[in-house]
Amino acid sequence: MSPRVLGAGAILLALFSFPAWGSPYFVGRVFTPAFIFGVIALSLCLLAGYGGMVSLAQMTLAGLAGYGYGYLTVTQGQPWWIGVLGGLLVATLVAFLFGMIAVRSTGIYFLMITLALGMVVYALANQNRSLFGGHTGILGIRPPELFGQALTERVPFYYVSLLVGLLAYAFVRYLSRTPFGLSLQALRDDPRRLAALGFHVALHRVATFTVAGLLAGLGGLLLVWYNGAISPTTIDLTRLINIMVIAVIGGLAYAEGAFLGAAVFILVTNFASSFTERFNTVIGLVFLLIVLFSPEGLSGIGLRILHALRRLLRVRFASAEGTGME
């Protein structure tokens, strides 16, 4: 069995058993939100790491899924599964529209268009009371009950967030190995060559943005269940940028980086806010240090450490074999 499989198995075992031996604070206030924001940041990693499209609208799409769920279940009194389907549908359709608008641009122009679209939705949510609840938002949102377990309880919600995070991660890893995922990576590296080969570049970008919107919507549902409410502050400029910071800290090019960056971001935010009111400055310093010393994020640092350990083990095994032959 390869070391990678053993390592993945050890991580999964630790995560699934963590509520039994870990601190309740870390279960409910660190790991659970890390899984939630990790799913949202994963949608950005899909866009940027595999497709070369850096978006600032992923938190907007997550928030729209939350608003859709809250409107259907609280305002309209629909059952939870209608709210889930409606929230995901809203996030996916809006992502498709955003992709259609921004698809012809690249680089900083793509980034600014997605930022502008996010700010338009934020302004609309602030002013519209019938759909978004205005500045107050939608309160009293309750998560569903699954198998007789209320997701308002810490441990069941931890496991739901963990499972959604694992499924989202497995989906992105699988997608990256499909013909669509391979063509998407070729689109990131050389879109002109891909167009010359007969691929529809704009269609690939819109499809990727739509899939990323679905992933962000999953994270948005978890977030609105976790908070029990949603308001325009959930999708303000600070929250839009936070998703970018999380993805960059973990490593935009790595699916694992979304969750690693989310865990570090949550830890730094929680503990820094206990010592200073300027915890955003601390997060900014962490972000700056990682970008300066490892542009590939914490995932890049981890890979370099693993490669160094492998080389060290190979040298030791080679020297041991040489000694044995003598």
pLDDT tens digit at each of 326 positions of the chain: 566 677 778 889 999 999 999 889 999 999 999 999 999 999 999 998 888 889 999 999 999 999 999 999 999 999 999 999 999 999 999 999 999 999 888 888 999 999 999 999 999 999 998 889 899 999 999 888 877 777 778 899 999 999 999 999 999 999 988 888 888 888 887 778 877 877 788 888 899 999 999 999 999 999 999 999 999 999 999 899 999 999 999 988 888 889 999 999 998 888 876 666 666 777 778 778 877 777 788 887 777 777 777 777 677 666 655 555 55
Cα(260)–Cα(297) distance, integer angstroms: 10
Q: Which tokens sit at 10?
A: 């050890």
Cα(252)–Cα(58) distance, integer angstroms: 14
Instruction: Quick: pLDDT tens for 223-258.
Output: 999 999 999 999 999 899 999 999 999 988 888 889
Alpha helices of 178-236 — where are they, by DSSP H? 179-189, 191-196, 201-227
Cα(321)–Cα(318) distance, integer angstroms: 5
Cα(209)–Cα(200) distance, integer angstroms: 15
C-alpha distance across the termini of the chain, in Å: 30
Task: List Cβ<8 Å contacts ≥24 apart for 79-84.
Answer: 80/143, 80/144, 81/144, 84/144, 84/221
Closest by Cα among 245, 230, 237, 258 to 115: 237
Single-letter amino acid, residue 221: L
Q: Which tokens sit at 173?
A: 């890893």
Instruction: Quick: pLDDT tens for 44-90.
Output: 999 988 888 899 999 999 999 999 999 999 999 999 999 999 999 99
Q: Which tokens sit at 219?
A: 């994270």
Cα(212)–Cα(194) distance, integer angstroms: 21
227 CB neighbour count, 10 Å cutoff: 16
State how far Cα 198 lies from the chain centre.
Answer: 32
The strand pairing partners of 150, in sequence order, are: 145
Angle between helices 154-177 and 201-227 (to 10 degrees): 170
Quick check: 60 and 121 in contact, CB under 8 A?
A: yes
The pTM of this model reads 0.91
Quick check: 221 and 90 in contact, CB under 8 A?
A: no
